[in-house]
Structure 1
Amino acid sequence: MFLVGLTGGIATGKSTVSRLLQDRGVPVVDADVMARKVVEPGRKAWRQIRDAFGPAVFLDSGELDRAALGRVIFRDTEKRRQLNRITHGKIQRLMIWETLKLFLQGHSFAVLDLPLLFESGVAVDYMEKIVVVSCEEDVQLQRLVARSGEAEADCRRRIEAQLPLRVKRDNAHFVIENSGSLADTARQVDGVLSVLRTSRAHWRLRALLLLLVVGCATLALWLSSVRRSTR
């Protein structure tokens, strides 16, 4: 199984592309879903965030107020780094486990939905292909203002806190331009899938895995024969 990284900028429509992929039967491991799991009330990350950021970023129900936390970390780089130190390792472990389960199920490829794929840099080398969801800058800003209800200046800060879209596009194998209609985006998704589904990368990886298994088995047999011959 080979891995495809799906990323983009905030409010560029990555979640829309992720849904389109899932509607077409593609397995997607979503970092945002994993991030929500690790901060569920009572979990270790939840307690660490409460200690580090205080009750102001929590709802009365005890759940994390993601909007309030977002306002804090996008105004303070050190706070953002602190949150990353608390959550990133835990999110990565969950994603690895979910990816392993897909591998064992026999999928030829899986999509890892990683908003900060390039910013973190941790997983880039493991991606066979990278898909970037992009849109025009004014469209991105309008969408974020409408979605968040925050002031335009705050939304600009949140956008500027991420790596520029042009850098992500330059480092992608596929770019899905999501400034237009849903139908147009869906056509682009289908075009990307037509390439991914004809890839033979998963056979190469399976062959390498088979060689590794055979090598380990051969080594085990050899060690066993050596032990018998020395008795």
Structure 2
Amino acid sequence: MIYQAPLAVLCITIIVSYFYMKSPTEPNAMANNGLLFISNAAKVHSVCQRASKFVKRVLYVNIKENSDNTLPLLSKQIDNLYSKSQTSNLDLRLMLKPSDTIREIKTGHPIDMILYDSELAKEIDELKHTVSTVSSGYKLQSIETHGASQHVQEDPLKTYENVALGGTFDRLHNGHKILLSQAALRATKLLTVGVTDVNMIQSKTLWELIEPVEVRIEQVLNFLKDINPDLEYNVFPLKDLYGPTKDDPRYQLIVVSEETLRGANKINEKRVENGLQPMDVHVIGMAQDAHPDHSLEEEDKISSSNQRMRLLGTLLRPPVPNPNIPDWPYVIGLAGGIASGKSNITNKLKLKGVGVVNCDIIAHDLYKPGLPLNRTISEVFGQDIITDAGEVDRKKLGQIVFSDTKQLEKLNSIVWPAVIAEAQRQIRAFGELGHRVVVMEAAVMVRARWYHYCHQLWAVIVPRDEAIKRLQDRNNLTIEEATQRVNAQPSNEEQIAKANVVFSPFWSYDYTQGQIDRAWQGLQEILDARK
């Protein structure tokens, strides 16, 4: 009898643990990656909605039965599935090959859970054995379906041996998935994808944040192999509008979005000039951006530009511990080219309670009459750059150094050591006053590599043309003078190459403030972890 109570407790514990482990609604029970079998194409979206609560990363969707007759319906479901799944971070991948024609299903991500709609309950044992990429200990999960879905007979979908398309494909999103899937659905042999590179990306919003072309090519290729491993794929860096389509007679169809239709027409004009048949053109409609954080500054359609804009103020690279400086105060280096809006960002951060060290002001103060730097500069660059009041004429000095790289380097070698020494003194003083965070703002932050004196590097960028315009207006310069000064600075790409966080005060006040708030919230989490 004395063992009954502990035994009962043990049994209850085992039962509770069992149901806890099996309950799919608990976060710990969610699978990383799942494969969902669906009995027919008409139910894709509705069943995926129910299945999405069981998987948190990648969900592959496979329709058991498919045929040429269901291709039009599958085309509709591609648009329906991806356009209505924007509010979730789940990576959906609708496989275009039916399971009843595949002996072995391979996926790019290991499968932790196999899901199936309830109409496939009798066949799931057979279906699950076709999946070769299941992880050990995978789970099975049935998804209830409420009645058969009805669909109207559609016109046949025309297919082609060789299909082409192009795009930036930055941070592969649902709009890209629609474009790629519709192209793959219509190809029977070869699908060629040009991924824009070099000068073709520089008209894009925040093009400096676009992923390297090698990364984008890999993402496109992995997605295509996941949705149809049987096609031949040619995914390559596209350096001009035409690629191979202008003179290769094999291509029969080009798939474009509404905004790139003009480009397709130009390609066909070039083909006709080269004595080739024009390609058929299939146009994909724009999918509306239904992201919960969508703002008025962003495009209405799903786009990579919107995704890049949403990266502003977020941690792009985790900070690396810097053992060469004290732990406190926490120093953030703020970089940015001339007229980029650094001071705007600094002022907003100052309202958060940070201490601010402005290296440009330090340099200006060191130029004052009677100070050693003033005397050294006049000796090196000539007495005529000193005003009657004994101050350095910064405009005259700028005309000298911004038109001659060697002269600029000479000035930097004189000024930089004095500036960083004073900046470090001010940082220590802010720490002694109790400031946890100090922002060190400097136009030369990146070129002087002063980020080595910081815990994080934050960078501010605006489009180059905007910086030139702002500089003209602010300093009353000609366009030639403003362009010369902007060209003398590190490019936006250089400014953000090592940055942990990037801002762009190019849009509205509220949009800039949102970037600051996101960055500040992320910073607090890092600071709290350092306690």
TM tier, shorter chain? 0.7 to 0.9
* CA distances 1:160-214 after superposition (whole Å, capped 9, x unpaired): 111110222232111111111223212211221111123237836xxxxxxxxxx
Asked if 1:99 is matched to 2:427, the reply is yes
Which one scores higher on RCO, CA 8 angstroms, separation ≥ 6?
1
Deviates most, 139-148 or 50-59: 50-59
Partners of 1:167 and 1:34 lie apart in 2 by 24
**If you compute each CA radius of gyration, which structure gives the higher value, 1 or 2?**
2
CA contact (8 A) 1:5 1:127 kept: yes
Aligned-partner Cα distance in 2 for 1:36–1:184: 32
Q: TM-score when scaled to structure 1? A: 0.82
Correspondence for 1:136: 463
Structure 1 counterpart of 2:349, from 7, 11, 21: 21
How high is the TM-score relative to the length of structure 2? 0.37
**Mapped partners of 2:529, 2:442: distance in 1:** 21
Q: Deviations over 1:69-128 (max 9, x none)?
A: 11111011121122112211111111111011122223222111121111112x223322
- Give, in angstroms, the shift of residue 129 of structure 1: 1.5
Partner of 1:197: 524
Higher strand share: 2
Contact preservation (8 Å) 2:354, 2:435: no
CA contact (8 A) 1:38 1:45 kept: yes
Q: 2: distance between equivalents of 1:40 and 1:182? A: 35
CA distance in 2, matches of 1:129, 1:151: 36
Structure 1: how far apart are the matches of 2:516 and 2:335?
A: 13
Instruction: Give 3-state SS (helix, strand or coil) of 1:3's partner.
Output: strand
Judge which range, 125-134 or 140-149, deviates more: 125-134
Separation (CA, whole Å) in 2 of partners of 1:145 and 1:70 = 14
> Structure 1 residue aligned with 2:439, among 108, 111, 122?
111
C-alpha distance in 1, partners of 2:513/2:381? Answer: 40
Q: Please, what is the CA RMSD of the aligned residues?
A: 1.7
Within 5 Å, give how 1:178-193 maps onto structure 2. 178-193=505-520
User: How far apart are the structure 2 equivalents of 1:138 and 1:61?
Assistant: 36
| Residues 58 and 65 in structure 1, CA contact (< 8 A), matched pair in contact too | yes
Cα deviation, residue 139, structure 1: 1.0
Q: Which residue type is aligned with residue 418 of structure 2?
A: K
Distance 2:418 2:528 in 1: 29
- Counterpart of 1:186, as a letter, is Q
Q: Matches of 1:143 and 1:89 in 2, distance apart?
A: 29
Aligned partners of 1:178 and 1:35: how far apart in 2?
Answer: 25
Stretches (4+) displaced over 6 A: none
Number of the residue aligned with 1:207: none
Q: Partners in 2 of 1:8 and 1:169 — Cα distance?
A: 9
List alignment gaps of at least 5 residues for structure 2. Answer: 1-327
Q: Determine what percentage of the aligned residue pairs are the same residue.
A: 27
CA pair 201-99 structure 1, distance change in 2 beyond 3 A: farther
1:109–1:202 contact (8 Å) kept in structure 2 = no
- Within a 5 Å distance, the mapping from 1:1-231 to structure 2 comes to 1=328, 2-121=330-449, 123-200=450-527, 203=530
Q: Give the aligned residue type for 1:175.
A: V
Distance 1:181 1:147 in 2: 19
Q: How many angstroms apart in 1 are the aligned matches of 2:528 and 2:461?
A: 26
Question: Aligned partners of 1:125, 1:59: CA distance in 2, in Å?
Answer: 36
How many residues are paired up?
A: 203
Residue aligned with 1:120, SS: coil
- Residue of structure 2 equivalent to 1:218: none
Query: Is the contact between residue 108 and residue 202 of structure 1 (CA under 8 Å) also seen in structure 2?
Result: no
CA deviation string 1:132-185 (max 9, x = no partner): 111112111110111122221221121111111022223211111111122321
For 1:179 and 1:66, the matched residues in 2 are separated by 27
Residue 23 of structure 1: CA displacement?
2.5
SS of 1:199's partner is helix
Q: Which consecutive residues of structure 1, in runs of 5 or more, have no partner in the other structure?
A: 205-231
Give the direction of change, closer, same or farther, for the CA distance of 1:49–1:188 in structure 2 (3 Å limit): same
